[in-house]
Amino acid sequence: MAIQPDPPSETFLEGFKYGTLDADNREIRLVTLEEGFWSDEIRCSLRTLSLHDQPAYEALSYVWGDPSICRSISLNGHTFEVTENLWLAMRRLRKSTEPRVFWIDAICINQSNNDEKSSQVSFMGEIYQGSQETTLWLGEDPYTVEVGSKSAAGHRLAELFEILLSDKHMSELPCFIEDGTRTDVSEDYLQHFDDLAMFLDKPWWKRIWVIQEMVPPPKIRFVYGSEQFSYDTLRAVLEIFREHAAHCCKNFRLRLRGAGFDPLMVIEERVSPMVYVRERWRNSDERITLLQLRRMFSASQASVSRDLFYALLGIVNSWGLATPLQPDYNISSRDAIIKAVYACMVESGGASFLQGERISEDRSPDFPSWLPDLHVRSTPSRRVWGEQQRLKIAERFSATAGLKQDTTQFSLASDGTLRLQALKVDKVIRVGDATDPLDEFDKVPDVFRQWMGMIGMGVQDWPESPPARGSQQDSFWRTILNDSIEVEQGAGYVRPSDGDYHQLLDLWKMITANVWPLLVSMARSSVETRKSDSEPFEMMNTLLNLAPSIAYHVLVCLWGRRMIITEKGFIGLAPRTVREGDEVHILLGSEVPFILRPGHVNVYSSEVDRYSTPVYTVIGNGYLHGVMCGEAFEGDGQNEITVIALH
């Protein structure tokens, strides 16, 4: 069909008007960025067409930025406001001799029309897949933003990538030094690695929408200031560096970490998940679910909570028995998220998606307790690292193993109350002090002593050899590790060995001896010297470099946890909000037990009989030694399954 200007329909910003899009005809708008020089006004025109016509266009992926800081452009002859970051991108991407045609969400979607937003988001994956190329705009180099010249930081970044792509051993790369007494970054390349850190710390990497924007396109490129990097370049840097660091250069990397430097960790955190999903998505046989994506990108951020789910829909290719979720901006965020999480439960056939913390101080009381924090709001990255690892640990267990039922039954009431099947395992009768090592490093020894005291033991009572199976000592040390240890980074978890016990014993001796305050003091001094903006997280990393290697895993297992003892004598770990009197239940379809609080007076749904169906508040999932592998369903356990309601 011919490309026609939008007919006037809805007033928007000083005379500019959007027309109506025909969703059934897969209509979209494209913006033409007119040619111009650096200081010229940005002039654009908007046209409507159908995706069925396979138009030629590029797509732009970027971060909107602060909505209160805007710049004006000319759109169809009218003034139109865009955020400063988009304005900077358009200025960089504009050619001086010919126009360029883009799809840009902030301009091509009428952001004041919820029906149109819902419709356009529903086939946004198709929009990016249909582009000839997608530009991933990471932002300006702050050193050259007002000059319009070559980006100094971007140029140094290109030099560093070229070095890393040489596929040499790390000790042979000019950016590192090893002189027999120390392993470190060469002074000549300190600024290069600072630039890399700044590049990987750009807000673009943290935005949830960019996953959908970089996975489907046939071709993508990164633009940072005046510099451009192909996707293949960044992927190759990741793969080469990771291969060397995991095998032939493993010890070199460990020595770098000992010096407080690990560039690979940042690259893996930012780039690796995106590369993994893009490669899987392009292999049409790979199954990609919303649950998988939401867990993988739980650290990503969105300004609107429902977009934590909506932003991923364009690359979901498997819904199982669930009805595919459709974006709907006319309903509340609460209702949108409830529908999304319930769809994930139906698709997976279980309750494992309910795992996660519920401790956010700014969490809205409108959200039901069965929704963990990571589904209702953007979660701070310093919390996500622990949550993601604990979810991986949970995959080792099967608390419902041996259950004869083939299917899990659950239903959702109109008020958001979740009704499902569960087995009550036990009741909490004792609760220990809480651990929050990221903030209270000095208190760690006292917490350990208090926990040991709960089972009548002291630090000196621990044997040099692993305790006998089934003893309280055995239950205690295995609980501390969630009875799991990582085989190697990213390779899964197995049951701890005797060697792991000895490592844990060494860590206990360090924590409870005078050496621990010394390590805390050294770590704090190191962080203060670097003047870091994220002191607790930096403190943790520094302490881990100084402590036995098992310390990282212990930190994952214990962060934000309290030790509990149950009525039947089981030892476990629970969220720090646990109280005496809370109950331990196994929700059918979940790998691990949950801590539930009986009674909730605010449930009045006609779909939940409050007099026959027990109603609970979800405190969170936990670890209870002795019930993690189906033991609770042995004997009469099969007959004690009941229906409960979670508010």
Lowest mean pLDDT among 68-72, 339-343, 456-460: 456-460
Task: Give the Cα-Cα-Cα angle 414, 418, 422 (nearest 5 degrees).
Answer: 155
Asked, for residue 493, whether it belongs to a domain, the answer is yes
Residue 548 confidence (pLDDT) above 90: no
Q: What percent of the chain has pLDDT over 70?
A: 84
> What total number of domains does the chain contain?
3
**Residue 109 falls inside a structural domain:** yes
Whether residue 454 is contained in a domain is answered as yes
One-letter identity of residue 200: L
Average pLDDT of the residues in 201-229: 94
Q: Of 623, 126, 81, whose CA–CA distance to 397 is shortest?
A: 623
Which pLDDT band, with edges at 50, 70 and 90, does 607 fall under?
Answer: low
Q: Say yes or no to pLDDT of 378 above 80.
A: no
In this predicted structure, the answer to whether residue 537 has a pLDDT above a threshold of 50 is: no
What does each C-alpha distance from 484 to 389, 471, 515, 556 come to in angstroms?
11, 18, 27, 11
Task: Look over the chain and give the mean of its residue pLDDT values, rounded to a whole number.
Answer: 86
| One-letter identity of residue 377 | R
Q: Do 431 and 565 fall into the same domain?
A: yes
What is the band of 13 on the pLDDT scale with cuts at 50, 70, 90? Answer: very low
Do 540 and 593 reside in the same domain of the chain? no
Q: So what's the pLDDT on residue 550?
A: 80
Name the pLDDT band for 449 (thresholds 50, 70, 90): confident
Q: Is the pLDDT of residue 460 over 90?
A: no
The pLDDT of residue 525 is above 80: no
pLDDT of residue 532: 43
* Residue 402 pLDDT greater than 50, yes or no: yes
* Half-sphere exposure at residue 19, Cβ-oriented, CA atoms within 13 angstroms: 17
Q: Are 400 and 586 within 8 A, CB to CB?
A: yes
Instruction: Judge whether residue 512 has pLDDT over 80.
Output: no
pLDDT tens column, 342-369: 999 999 988 999 999 887 767 888 899 9
Q: Looking at residue 535, what is its pLDDT?
A: 47
Inside any domain, residue 447: yes
Could you tell me the pLDDT band of residue 387, with boundaries at 50, 70 and 90? confident
Answer yes or no: do 445 and 497 share one domain.
yes
Residues 589 and 553 in one domain: no
Is pLDDT of 57 > 70? yes
- Looking at the predicted structure, is the pLDDT value of residue 604 above 50? no
Least confident of 77-91, 318-332, 531-545: 531-545
For residue 31, is it within any domain? yes
Q: Residues 20, 55: one domain?
A: yes
**In terms of pLDDT, which residue wins out, 25 or 604?**
25
583 and 552 co-located in one domain: no
422 and 565 housed in the same domain: yes
* C-beta contacts of 608-612 below 8 A and 24+ residues apart: 608/413, 608/417, 608/419, 608/645
Answer yes or no: do 572 and 635 share one domain.
yes
- 289 pLDDT above the threshold of 80: yes
pLDDT greater than 90 at residue 370: yes
Residue 121, pLDDT > 80, answer yes
Show which of 540, 557, 574 is a domain's final residue.
557
- Is residue 617 a part of any domain in this protein? yes
Regarding whether 109 and 10 lie in a shared domain, the answer is yes
Same domain, 501 and 583: no
The domain boundary, picked from 94, 122, 150, lies at 122
* Whole-number Å distance between alpha carbons of 531 and 130: 46
With respect to residue 449, please indicate whether it lies within any of the assigned structural domains: yes
Residue 533: predicted pLDDT = 45
Poorest-pLDDT segment among 181-195, 282-296, 375-389, 491-505: 375-389
Rounded Cα distance between 489 and 501, Å, is: 19
pLDDT at residue 529 greater than cutoff 60: no
The pLDDT of residue 7 is above 90: no
β-pairing, 58-61 with 100-103?
parallel
Supply the pLDDT for residue 149.
63
- pLDDT value of position 600: 60
Q: Which residues of 13-52 are buried (b: 16+ CB within 10 A; e: fewer)?
A: eeebebbebeeeebbbbbbbbbebeeeeebbbbbbbbbee
**Contact present, 350 and 381 (Cβ < 8 Å):** no
Q: Are residues 427 and 568 in the same domain?
A: yes
At residue 263, the pLDDT reads 63
Residue 401 neighbours by CB distance under 10 Å = 14
Mean pLDDT check: name the lowest of 136-145, 167-176, 185-194, 208-217. Answer: 136-145
pLDDT at position 606 is 53
In a domain, residue 145? The reply is: no
Non-local CB neighbours of 68 within 8 Å, separated by 6+ positions: none
CA distance 551 to 27: 55
> Is pTM, for the whole model, over 0.85?
yes
Is the pLDDT confidence value at 12 over 50? no
CA 372 – CA 386 distance, rounded (Å)? 14
Range of the domain at 587: 397-435+560-647
For residues 481 and 614, membership in a common domain is answered with no
Q: Of 114-128, 191-205, 510-524, which has the strongest mean pLDDT?
A: 114-128
pLDDT digit string (tens) for 69-103?
999 999 999 999 999 999 999 999 999 999 999 99
pLDDT band at 487 (very low <50, low <70, confident <90, very high): confident
What is the rounded average pLDDT of the residues 405-419? 84
pLDDT above 80 (res 546): no
Contacts of 376 (CB under 8 A, 6+ apart): 305, 337, 360, 363, 364, 367
Q: Which residue type occupies 264?
A: L
* Across 259-266, average pLDDT: 67
Instruction: In whole angstroms, give the CA distance from residue 477 to residue 279.
Output: 40
Among 122, 144, 160, residue at a domain's last position: 122
pLDDT above 50 (res 468): yes
For residue 160, how many other CB atoms are within 10 A of its CB?
21
